[in-house]
């Protein structure tokens, strides 16, 4: 009897230990994670003692077995790290602080949950230690949201999406499970004034996820299943006819992607949050010295049309030599040959009659301008030798388009592509792409992703939507927005056409985008002749770097306006943008180490009616200066201190 009582007592103590929450604090003690392991695994997150997320669930089903159902603790380990990350390509900063506390919870059954708590967010990932290959049938990520909560996200029609939808703003209670899915990254505001940005990092050999309503006022993750049968549609798409009963077949000994939550009370802290740099895996390239981020003159949006030239405009060498000459005059390192240069989008080895690639490459090389070729993902998949072929020819890189999926099969395509490109010293810019999720850290020749409602959308791209991007999409990685359309108008007067592309917003707003938005390959999207007629604006644009030593937010309000300052060497660049509300913003220059000359581009007095009204000023400033930025509706402000 005594042995039975002792056994029962031990079992009860074991159950109590299983149910007791494990606690992890951020280094400053303001964020707290409570993890409970019992019949299911739940966690809650608190900021300054207030619940941000409550009773969220996490879990994994492997080879038909739900690992988190009745999970049992094996060991618990706490620790701290205080280090610095130096990204091979300094997107926002040359160094990023990597200070965090961690909690590693090993479960019986050869798996674990690893948590990190930073001062500005928390992250977790599942770690597997199983033999051979496994099938991951599903991953559970349920998020309980406060009742007084507002979500800001892109609503996707389905798992096949270009990730270019505008942002929607809604209460979770308005969203139903049948309403479809939301893209990552997504942001929500709690009733207590906190904002939470959700995304993922260190993704490889594993699908990305969407979220949808869980039917109870919260959200749950949805992962695309692995495609089984594909049906070709045209020259660049596949329909997924049927799928496997798993989301990934992968190695049994590995870590899954990080799921991270940036948590901020001040809107500023969402923008340059550093999570992607901290959680990304190390660079896999031994030598990155050949990778040269920079600006690129883009042909597609301007329609390759010029006035007063002595040649027929179009897809031909004369037109692209004109682009090369423009780029060379302004020290722009690249031009793009977008769709149309190849005779067939499925056969890149035959160009149209007017294009002689070796001649163009030589012409550009003599003038310090590299060529980037547009290609569909399906073309590179059918012709994996394109990287070697065009690398030997002297091409600088590829703009690859229309992937529009995030299942494991497509995620692995991304990795194969950047690996092959890196072997032949080629740059990559993905369009029709999902958000950055760590591949660009391992292979820095991946300079940018689209995955944004950018200016190729014409009148569908508005400042009211774009002002959200620094807080959401660009906050997780580089973003090819395609800025620089200097023929601009207020919304009621905007009539973009193929002959004359036009942007919504003021001219100063367009200049500011080069400072506010970050992309390792930054487009000059307008016609070269437009830039040549506006030399002061053009000189400013081409002087703006695409990588930075330091970045900071000087003022912001979520979805309303933002003012950003970025440093490269001794120069500081400042950019401001607003939505349809005109405003005056005062910012301090107390971060300056010495005095300098400020050259600024401001909205003119009539920019609210004539968006092209832009005024240039020059003045001396120092760290005691306060700048008053007057922004028209859909306006901006841009300047450089040197």
Domain contains 46: yes
Which residues, in sequence order, are CB contacts of 488 under 8 Å at separation 6+?
A: 494, 502, 503, 504, 505, 506, 507, 509, 510, 611, 612
Q: How many CB atoms lie within 10 A of CB 38?
A: 16
- Longest CA span, the chain: 104
Q: What's the pLDDT score for residue 13?
A: 37
CA atoms within 13 A on the CB side of 630: 9
| Res. 12 pLDDT band, cuts 50 70 90 | very low
- CA gap 120, 335 in Å, rounded: 39
Question: Is there a single domain that holds both residue 220 and residue 354?
Answer: no
Contact 476, 433 (CB under 8 A): no
The catalytic residue among 68, 164, 401, 526 is: 401
* Contact assessment for residue 446 and residue 416, using Cβ atoms and an 8 Å cutoff: no
With CA atoms as reference, report the closest residue to 411 among 383, 379, 449, 447: 449
Active site residue 222: no
Alpha carbons 109 and 625: distance in angstroms, whole number: 62
Dihedral, CA of residue 489, residue 490, residue 496 and residue 502, to nearest 10: 40
- What are the φ/ψ torsions at residue 342 (nearest 5 degrees)? -95, 145
| Cis-peptide into 185, omega within 30 deg | yes
613 is catalytic: no
pLDDT given for residue 11 in this prediction: 42
Of the three residues 468, 501, 533, the one that is the final residue of a domain is: 533
Domain annotation covers residue 493? no
CB 260 within 8 A of CB 461: no
Q: Name the residue among 42, 51, 45, 49 with its Cα closest to residue 33.
A: 45
pLDDT of residue 146: 84
User: Which of 301, 283, 368, 293 has the alpha carbon at shortest distance from 338?
Assistant: 301
Same domain? 215 vs 249: yes
Instruction: Looking at the structure, tell me whether residues 267 and 331 fall in a common domain.
Output: no
- Strand-pair partners of 83: 98
CATH of the domain at 364: 3.20.20.70
Catalytic-role residue among 164, 277, 456, 608: 456
Q: How would residue 2 be classed by pLDDT, with cut points 50, 70 and 90?
A: very low
Give the span between the Cα atoms of 628 and 580, in whole angstroms.
Answer: 19
CB 582 within 8 A of CB 631: yes
CB-facing half-sphere around the CA of 116: CA atoms within 13 A: 21
What pLDDT digit, counting tens, does each position of 511-567 carry?
Answer: 999 999 999 999 999 999 999 999 999 999 999 999 999 999 999 999 999 999 999
Mean pLDDT of the chain: 95
Task: Give the confidence band of 18 by pLDDT, cuts at 50, 70, 90.
Answer: low
Residues 299 and 185 in one domain: no
Length of the chain: 642
Number of Cβ atoms within 10 Å of the Cβ of 95: 14
Kindly state the tokens that stand for 127: 């770690």
Residue 96 CA from chain centroid, whole number: 17
Find where tokens 């005059």 sit.
Answer: 329
Q: Residues 6 or more apart from 79 whose CB is under 8 A from it?
A: 101, 102, 104
Residue 379 has pLDDT above 80, yes or no: yes
- pLDDT value of position 9: 36
Same domain, 194 and 234: yes
Residue 5 has pLDDT above 50, yes or no: no
Q: 372 in a domain, yes or no? A: yes
Q: At how many degrees (to 10) do helices 357-366 and 317-329 cross?
A: 20
Q: What is the pLDDT of residues 265-294, one digit of tens each?
A: 999 999 999 999 999 999 999 999 999 999
* Shared-domain flag, residues 218 and 367: no
**Measured between alpha carbons, how far is residue 102 from residues 113, 129, 262 in Å?**
11, 19, 16
Determine the average pLDDT of the residues in 305-318.
97
Does residue 563 sit within a domain?
no
For residue 153, what is the domain's CATH number?
A: 2.70.98.10
Q: Six-digit token pair at 579?
A: 């939505």
pLDDT tier at 473, thresholds 50, 70, 90: very high
Contact 52, 45 (CB under 8 A): yes
List the beta bridge partners of residue 220.
142, 212
Looking at residue 148, what is its pLDDT? Answer: 86
Range of the domain at 394: 289-450+517-533
Distance, in Å, from the CA atom of 597 to the CA atom of 585, rounded to the nearest integer, reads 20
Q: Residue 110 domain-assigned?
A: yes
Residues 141 and 257 in one domain: yes
Of all residues in the chain, the percent with pLDDT exceeding 90 is: 92
Instruction: Tell me if 630 is assigned to some domain.
Output: no
- Whether residue 614 is contained in a domain is answered as no
- Confirm if 336 and 399 have CB atoms less than 8 A apart: yes
**C-alpha of 402 from chain center:** 17
Of 484, 507, 533, which residue is a domain's last?
Answer: 533
CB-count burial class (<10 Å; 0-12, 13-18, 19+) for 60: buried
Q: How confident is the model at residue 20 (pLDDT cuts 50, 70, 90)?
A: confident
Residues 210 and 308 in one domain: no
Last residue of a domain, one of 480, 501, 533: 533
Q: Which residue has the tokens 């006035």?
A: 307
Tally of domains in the chain: 2
CA atoms of 633 and 56, how far apart (whole Å): 41
Domain check: are 151 and 60 in the same one?
A: yes
Q: Is 159 left (phi over 0), alpha (psi -120 to 50) or beta?
A: alpha
Q: Which residues contact 494 (CB under 8 A, 6 or more apart)?
A: 459, 488, 502, 503, 504
Is 225 in a helix, a strand, or coil?
coil
Report pLDDT for 19. Answer: 62
Q: What is the model's pLDDT at position 498?
A: 78
Q: pLDDT-based confidence at 6, cuts 50/70/90?
A: very low
In a shared domain, residues 396 and 298:
yes
Q: Are residues 78 and 146 in the same domain?
A: yes
Residue 31 has what pLDDT?
98
Which residues touch 531 (CB under 8 Å, ≥6 apart)?
Answer: 326, 330, 486, 524, 537, 538, 541
239 and 369 inside one domain: no
C-alpha dihedral (335, 431, 502, 342), degrees to nearest 10 = 50
- The reply to whether 499 falls in a domain is no
- For the segment 581-599, the average pLDDT, to the nearest whole number, is 98
């Amino acid at each position: 009897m005594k042995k039975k009582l002792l056994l029962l007592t031990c079992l009860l103590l074991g159950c109590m230990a299983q149910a007791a929450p494990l606690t992890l604090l951020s280094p400053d003690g303001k964020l707290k994670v409570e993890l409970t392991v019992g019949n299911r695994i739940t966690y809650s997150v608190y900021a300054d003692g207030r619940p941000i997320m409550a009773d969220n669930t996490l879990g994994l089903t492997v080879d038909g077995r739900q690992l988190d159902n009745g999970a049992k603790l094996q060991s618990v380990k706490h620790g701290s790290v205080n280090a610095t990350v130096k990204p091979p390509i300094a997107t926002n900063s040359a160094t990023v602080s990597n200070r965090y506390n961690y909690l590693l919870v090993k479960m019986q059954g050869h798996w674990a949950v690893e948590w990190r708590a930073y001062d500005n967010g928390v992250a977790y990932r599942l770690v597997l230690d199983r033999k051979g290959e496994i099938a991951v049938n599903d991953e559970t990520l349920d998020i309980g949201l406060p009742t007084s909560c507002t979500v800001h996200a892109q609503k996707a029609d389905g798992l096949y999406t270009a990730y270019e939808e505008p942002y929607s703003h809604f209460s979770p209670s308005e969203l139903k499970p049948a309403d479809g899915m939301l893209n990552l990254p997504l942001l929500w505001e709690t009733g207590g004034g906190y904002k939470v940005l959700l995304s993922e990092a260190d993704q490889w050999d594993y699908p990305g996820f969407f979220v949808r309503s869980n039917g109870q006022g919260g959200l749950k993750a949805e992962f695309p299943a692995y495609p089984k049968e594909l049906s070709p549609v045209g020259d660049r798409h596949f329909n997924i006819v049927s799928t496997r009963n798993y989301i990934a077949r992968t190695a049994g000994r590995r870590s899954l992607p990080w799921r991270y939550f940036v948590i901020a009370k001040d809107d500023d802290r969402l923008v340059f949050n550093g999570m992607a740099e901290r959680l990304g895996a190390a660079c896999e390239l031994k030598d990155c010295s050949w990778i040269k981020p920079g600006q690129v003159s883009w042909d597609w949006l301007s329609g390759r049309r010029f006035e007063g030239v002595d040649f027929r405009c179009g897809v031909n060498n004369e037109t692209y030599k004109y682009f090369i000459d423009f780029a060379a005059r302004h020290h722009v390192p690249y031009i793009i040959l977008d769709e149309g240069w190849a005779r067939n989008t499925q056969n890149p080895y035959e160009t149209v009659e007017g294009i002689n690639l070796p001649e163009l490459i030589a012409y550009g090389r003599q003038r310090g301008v590299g060529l980037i070729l547009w290609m569909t993902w399906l073309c590179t998949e059918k012709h994996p030798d394109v990287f070697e072929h065009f690398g030997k020819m002297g091409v600088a890189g590829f703009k690859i388009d229309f992937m529009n999926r995030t299942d494991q099969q497509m995620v692995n395509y991304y990795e194969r592509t950047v690996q092959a490109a890196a072997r032949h010293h080629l740059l990559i810019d993905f369009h029709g792409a999902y958000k950055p999720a760590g591949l660009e850290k391992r292979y820095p020749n991946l300079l940018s992703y689209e995955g944004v409602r950018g200016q190729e959308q014409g009148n569908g791209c508005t400042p009211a939507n774009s002002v959200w991007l620094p807080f959401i999409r660009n906050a997780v990685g580089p973003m090819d927005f395609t800025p620089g359309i200097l023929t601009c108008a207020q919304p009621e007067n905007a009539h973009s056409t193929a002959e004359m592309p036009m942007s919504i917003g003021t001219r100063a707003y367009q200049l500011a985008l080069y400072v506010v938005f970050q992309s390792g390959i930054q487009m000059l999207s307008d016609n070269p002749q437009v830039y040549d007629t506006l030399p002061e604006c053009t000189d400013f644009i081409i002087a703006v770097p695409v990588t930075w030593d330091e970045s900071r937010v000087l003022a912001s309000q979520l979805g309303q306006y933002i003012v950003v300052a970025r440093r490269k060497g001794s120069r500081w660049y400042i950019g401001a943008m607003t939505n349809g509300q005109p405003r005056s913003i005062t910012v301090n220059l107390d971060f300056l180490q010495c005095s300098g000359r400020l050259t600024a581009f401001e909205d003119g007095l009539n920019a609210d009616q004539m968006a092209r009204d832009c005024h240039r000023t020059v003045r001396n400033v120092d760290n005691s200066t306060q700048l008053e930025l007057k922004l028209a509706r859909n306006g901006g402000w841009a300047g450089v201190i040197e």
